[in-house]
Structure formats: structure tokens, C-alpha cells
Structure 1
Amino acid sequence: MSSITSTIFIILLGFFLRRKGILGDNVGKILTNVALTVAIPALAFNSFMQPMNGDAFQQGMGVLVWGIVIYILLIFVTPFMYQRYVKGEREVLAILTTFGSTTFFGIPIVGAVYGVKGVMYSSIFNIGYRIFLYSYAYIKMSGLKMAGKNIKKMFLNPIVIATFLGLFMWLGQHLVPQVTVPVAVNGVETAKMASVAFYRIDQTALWLYKPLSYLANLASPLAWLAIGTTLGSISIKDAAADKTPWYYSLNKVIIVPLINLILLILLDMTGLLSLNYIAVATIVVMMATPTAAVVSAYAISFDRDAVMASNASFISTISAVVMMPIWIAIMEVISSLGMLK
């Protein structure tokens, strides 16, 4: 409950500060840039500073596979949700529905609710997301072939670099020289000794891990404040007057995560893909996020129903703020019923 109320209260604080003029027009963009360039990369990297066993490896690889499969599935399924729209609008709405704000909106909430394991799973899940976001989504929205600048964005993004660096270090920690150190818990050394990889900075270099932790802890409040300031700068009346953003939001924050949840439960029951509670809950939260900022930027840049995309982003953000606590509660109920490990 405290994680949920923190999310809502800080978003409302950003909304209030923007409405009162205490925060200016550019503050939201500045907060977003700081979060995406510094805080979230630190959060993603630090999430991999933990032991790796057979179960953790299996869960991580399962999340990676599902993160690729689900986007391929959504690319084919989402256009059928908008059959009554003309081709151009249908394509834009389908892409808006497929790609949510998993990095900026999802990871901070996952980190607050499910801790470092949730952040690690969300970072792995986002690998497939970024591959399709900077390739398929760009090609469909621009009408052009794959551009070199998008390949550069895909691999030189600070979050991608931090994720792959952390992932490779996590996977290879048993293959590198080991050192024996006092075990540190929450940045405080204990009397217990353990052998860890020399680059496990959470155990071997607290002087480096601690500043990264401070930066990582900024991710959630910065993201939530930026979301609030963005909501506070848009006319609610104008955005709410159109029915399309509401229908889109229903699909984005309810239907898409529901599809993920049902499929993952069925796969678990059949034994084809067994993910634990934190992994499944992380995926559901990530898929219940509002419109991805990158896709909105594509719509504006290439003049693809830019006003509709902006309204959809606004309404879906409000809807996601309302639905996120509900989804987290639903996942708690499912866990208590023993449907997930």
C-alpha cells in the first residue's frame, strides 16, 4: 500500500506544482532526461548485483523469451482491436497499444513494489521491447526503411548499455576471479564471509555501489514528478472530449496486460513456461503502462495523427495511474490463491 500511495501522491504533487505554476513548462522534460540518462540506468545496473543460481537464470531467460514473443504476438493482434478505424489511424493506434512506457513509467513502479528482482526482470523484459520499438515501430510510423540513427539509439542508449552490462556481469559472475569479502546487506558489512565475483560492487566496492544506489533511488520520484507535471500542462477537457483515447486506454491498460496474464498462467499450467510471481507481476505492470514517449514522438515527427496520439498518451496516463494499484492488488490475490509460485 505504501508503494502504491507513494506513486499516486507524488504524481499528484507534480500535477499540483505544475498547475500552480511553481514548476515551469520545461521541468517535466528536464526531470525525464535526468531519470532516463542517469537514474534509471543506475537502477537497471544495480539490479543485477545479486547472486545467480539455477532458478534465477531460468526465470531471467524465461522473461527474455517472453519479452520477445509477446511483442511479435501483439504486432499481429492489436490491429484487430481497431477494425472500425481507417487504415492510417488503425496502424497508429495498434502501435500505441503495443508499446507502452515500460522504462519511464513501469520500472520505477516495479522497483518500488517488487524490489531489485522486479527491476532485474523488467530490464531483461525490455530487451525485446527496445528491439521492436526502434525497428518495427519506427518503420511503420515513418514509412521509411530502418535508419542507422535508430540502430544507434537502440544500442547506445544509457539504459540499454547499463542493462546489457549488468546482464553479462550477472550471467558471468561464476566464470571470473572470486574474492572473499564480508557480506554487505543494504550497504552495511556483516560478520558473514562469502566468495563473490570481483566486480560484484555491492560486496567488493561499496564506495562505488553506494553513489549508484543514491542515483537509482531518484528514478521513482523523478519519474512520478515528471508524469504529474506533464498531466498538469495539458487540457483535461480537450483530451477527454474524444472517445478514441478512452477506447485506446481500455485496450492499453486493461486488455493488453490481461492477455499477458492469461497466457502466462496457461503456459505455467501446461509447463511450457513457468515464471514465478514476481516475474509475472512485473510483466503485467510493464504492459499496463501508458503510451511510450518514443511512439508519441514518432507520431509528432512523422505527422501520423499527432493530436490523437497526444490525447491517447494523456488519457492512458491517467488510466494507468488508476489501474496500476488495481493490477498490483489483482496479482496479490492471484498469488494468495496459489496460482503462481
Structure 2
Amino acid sequence: MDIIFVIVILILLGFFLKYFGILSEKDKVALNNIVIYVAIPATLFLSLLRNVDAKDLGSYFKLTIFILIITLACAVLAYGIGKLLKMDIKSLAAFILVACCGNTAFMGFAIATGFYGVDGFIRAIFCDTATLFVIIILGTYLGIKVSGRKVSLLKQVVRFPPMIAWVVTIVLVILGFQISMLPAFVVTTLGYLSGIMVPLIMISLGLSLSPKYLKVAAIPAILVTVIQLFFAPALAVILSNFFALSGLDRNVAILQAGMPPAMTPLVFSEIYGMNSKLISGATFLATVVSLVSIPALHMMLDAGWI
């Protein structure tokens, strides 16, 4: 449970750095770029090469498919709710994206590592692969619908640094490449770069969170919170039986399914003109509630109640 306190402290650090004017909300862009272009690729490369064997890839990819199904189910549910509420196209696109894409990377990596160590983190990586595909492909597709811009979905996928690092490392794992084949100073450097991932992610999250848009998007924010923190993990518990998941695989997958909204949808909303206020309000509320729901979910999993 200590990881929750660590996360709260780091998020609050980001919040107070913004509150006292030491950093501004705009500084999150620089922090996120360091995380996306440096820290996450370094972490993926090191962790996968150190801990994954080619013979285990089949069981890990099952987690990717598992989270993909849950993510798409949340997207379909959000689409139906958005249509019932007669949302305009900008709000509907934002609502679908924020309701289906959980924070399986930024928060998910930290949570899985804190609760289950490196073994949990490895499984979280393969869970996040599904979220990554959906965010990029669905986010770009919805963005095209909203803005009318012509953008290549394939280019968006292949240009994303964590995706490049993931594909390259998986290929190296299949080819039998070992981390010991690299010079020691390279491994040490990658270790230092990997170590900045969680602190920068949480500080950036603290800079991003703001309740100022909650009033204008209260209903969508509540609905997103229910979908992400309650519907998704409940569906994960049910589907885990069909996927024959057990032990650490099951626990990590269900926890990943119960993450609050990712921060990336906000980036897509700003690029393509979606309703960014809706995304900001929903992300704030769900993230705050998740600081209670995630420990509760972890406790129920460890106790065998679900």
C-alpha cells in the first residue's frame, strides 16, 4: 500500500509546484516529452530484455487482447451513452476517448510495480500495449471526424516512441538478444533514465489536474468515473474466467482495467478540437476517486474476494 502514498505525495508535489508558481501547467509538456521520448523507451527496453523470454510471449500477449476487449467495450458503452445524452460531435468524441482509455502506462506502471514488483510491471507493459493502440488509432480516427483533417493512422502508430521501443525490444527478445551483450555503461545509463519515469509522470499529473472544469462537465465526469473505475474492472473480473487468467496475470490485468483516464486524450483533444474541458473535468474526478478505488480493488484481489 506504500505505493499509493508515494503516488499521492508526488502528485501533490506537482500540484504545489504549480500553486506556488515554481512550475506552470505548460511545463507538463516538457516533462511528458522526457517521459515519452526517453524514460518509457528506456524502461521498456531494460525491463523486457531482463525479464521476458520468447517462450513466454504467448501468455503475455493474452493480457494485451484481454485489455483490448475491455477498452473497446468501454468505448461502445460510452458511444451509446453519449448518443442518449445527445452530445455534439466534439463532446462525443472526447467522451468516448476519455471513457475507454485508462492510464495503464503513467499510473498503471507505477501501481503494478509498487504492488507486484518487476513481474507486475512486465505484465503491465503488455496490458498498456492494448491501450496504446486504441489511444492512437481511435484518437486519430475521432480527431479526423471532428476536424476533417487527413491524417495517416499508420504513421501515428509507427512514430510513437514507446511503440517503436516495444516493437524493437520484442524482436530482440525473439532473436535471443541478452541485456548482458550490451556494455555496462549503456545498461547503467538506461537504468538512470528509467529511474526518472515514475517521479516525472506523477509530477506532470499533479501539474495537469485541475477542478476548474468539473462544474461545466459534471455529468460526463461522473459517467466516465463509473465506466473506468467500476464497469471496466467488473467486466475484467468476469472476462478473466473466460481467459483462464489466474494469479499475478489476473491481478495485474484487473488492476490495469481499473485505472483512471489516461492523459493522452487531452493531447488529442487539443490537436483536433475536441471538448478538452470535458476531458479535463473527467480526468480530474476519476483520478481523485481512483486513489481510493485502486487500493480497495487491490485489497479485494489479494483477499480473494473477487
Query: Is 2:51 the counterpart of 1:27?
Result: no
Q: TM-score, normalised by structure 1?
A: 0.78
Give the structure 2 partner of residue 43 of structure 1. Answer: 43
1:88-167 mapped onto 2 (5 Å cutoff): 88=88, 89-143=91-145, 144=148, 147-148=151-152, 150-167=153-170
Q: Which blocks of at least 5 consecutive residues in structure 1 are unaligned?
A: 174-198, 268-272
Q: Distance in 1 between matches of 2:154 and 2:280?
A: 25
2:198 maps to what in 1? 220
Q: 2:285 aligns to what?
A: 315
Taking a change above 3 Å as real, the CA distance of residues 246 and 147 of structure 1, as seen in their structure-2 partners, is same
Q: Against the structure 1 CA distance between its residues 118 and 171, is the aligned structure 2 distance closer, same or farther, given a 3 Å change threshold?
A: farther
User: What whole-Å deviation, never above 9, does each CA across 1:272-327 have from its counterpart, x for those lacking one?
Assistant: x2334322232233333333333223333333333222211222222223322222
Per-residue deviation, 1:42: 1.1
> Where does structure 2 lack aligned partners over 5 or more consecutive residues?
none
Find the aligned partners of 1:304 and 1:329 in 2 and give their Cα distance.
Answer: 37
Pairwise CA distance, 1:202:
4.7
Question: Equivalent residue for 1:326?
Answer: 296
More strand, by proportion: 1
SS across alignment from 2:51: coil
Matching residue of 1:196: none
Distance of 1:157 and 1:138 partners within structure 2: 13
Question: What are the residue-to-residue correspondences of 1:232-243 with 2, within 5 Å?
Answer: 234=210, 236=211, 238-240=213-215, 242-243=218-219
Percentage of matched positions with identical amino acids: 19
Are 2:104 and 2:127, in contact at CA under 8 Å, matched by a contact in 1? Answer: no
Higher helix share: 2
The equivalent of 1:59 in structure 2 is 59
Q: Is the 8 A contact 1:35 1:223 kept in 2?
A: yes
Looking at structure 1, the residues matched to 212 and 26 of structure 2 have their Cα atoms a distance apart, in angstroms, of 22
Report the equivalent of 1:188. Answer: none
- Is the Cα–Cα contact under 8 Å of residues 108 and 223 in structure 1 kept in the other structure? no
RMSD over aligned Cα atoms = 2.6
Match of 1:184 in 2: none
Per-residue CA deviation, residues 149-187 of structure 1 (Å, 9 max, x unaligned), is: x422311221111111222222332xxxxxxxxxxxxxx
Q: Aligned partners of 2:69 and 2:228: how far apart in 1?
A: 18
CA contact (8 A) 1:122 1:283 kept: yes
Matched, 1:300 2:235: no
| 2:161 partner letter | P
Give the match for residue 255 of structure 2.
Answer: 285
Tell me which structure has the larger Cα radius of gyration.
1
Within 2, Cα distance between the matches of 1:70 and 1:2?
A: 28
Whole-angstrom CA distance in 1 between matches of 2:150 and 2:128: 20
Checking the alignment, whether the CA contact within 8 Å between 1:252 and 1:288 is kept in structure 2 is yes
* Structure 1 Cα separation of the partners of residues 54 and 265 of structure 2: 37
**1:219 positional shift:** 0.8
Q: TM-score, normalised by structure 2?
A: 0.86
Task: Determine if contact 2:75/2:99 at 8 Å carries over to the other structure.
Answer: no
Work out the CA distance in 1 between the residues paired with 2:37 and 2:277.
27
How big is the shift at 1:204? 5.8
> Does the 8 Å CA contact 1:201/1:208 hold for their aligned counterparts?
no
Report the secondary structure of 2:280's partner residue.
helix
One-letter amino acid of the counterpart of residue 201, structure 1: I
**Residue pair 1:135, 1:146 contacting (<8 A) in 2 also:** no
Is the CA contact (8 Å cut-off) linking 1:124 and 1:163 kept in structure 2?
A: no
Letter in 1 for 2:253: I
